[in-house]
Amino acid sequence: MPTREEVARIIDHTLLKPEATIDDVRQLIEDAKSLGTYSVCVSPSMLPLPADIDLGDLHLAVVCGFPSGAVATNVKAMEAAVAVASGADEVDMVVNIGAVKSQKWDDVAFDIASVREAIPYAVLKVIIESAVLTDDEIVRVCEIAREVGVDFVKTSTGFHPAGGASVHAVTLMKQTVGDDLEVKASGGIHDGKFAAELIEAGATRLGLSGSQKVLDTL
């Protein structure tokens, strides 16, 4: 079982509720500092953060094309570029899930590559919404992400009714990308036991909104 500190250091402490306010983000950042997480992840409309907010050692992540992924590719790329120009260190983009389900692999590759080209120096995570996909689709979209040269593949938005992260999906994703990419698990992670299982399966980052509970139950 990983230690509390080890798990904290791979958490993206996340607030993506549409009704969230900047004061909620302030609290998120203070909580993340207290917990010792790696980063905070917020909606792009929260950037740039007010000048009086001190991130300290925290990294700043934002989502892109969230949560559906059904956004025009040029808009998705611009959203990512604006986020990085506004202070984001990392971008978590949602793939075009409909294109994946239709096996339009050239479209999937173009979508991901366009965002990669828009933010060549930022960390790029590709959310594949694994609970919606077959094993073959998970493998193929992870292969494309690796070919494009992103930094992470990520299981889920946490907003889809099909569900969030699973040990099976993380295992398959890790087997596919090997050491070339990292794997982020997110969605439906509510306790330390499940978080530890996902880490054992290959997750090197966790997206959590309930970080305190997860860390307290390790």
What residues are labeled active site? 92, 154, 184
Question: Could you tell me how far CA 95 lies from the centroid of its own chain?
Answer: 11
Distance (Å, whole) CA 108 – CA 103: 8
Amino acid symbol at 198: L
- Using only C-alpha atoms, the chain has a radius of gyration, in whole angstroms, of 16
The stretches of the chain forming alpha helices (DSSP H) are 4-8, 22-35, 73-85, 97-101, 105-118, 135-148, 167-177, 192-201, 211-216
Of 155, 107, 152, which Cα lies nearest the Cα of 132? 155
Q: Provide the greatest CA pair distance for the chain.
A: 47
Distance of CA 162 to the CA centre of its chain: 17
User: Scanning the structure block, which residue is given the tokens 């971008």?
Assistant: 91
Beta bridge partners of 184: 154, 205
Distance (Å, rounded) from C-alpha 217 to C-alpha 4?
A: 9
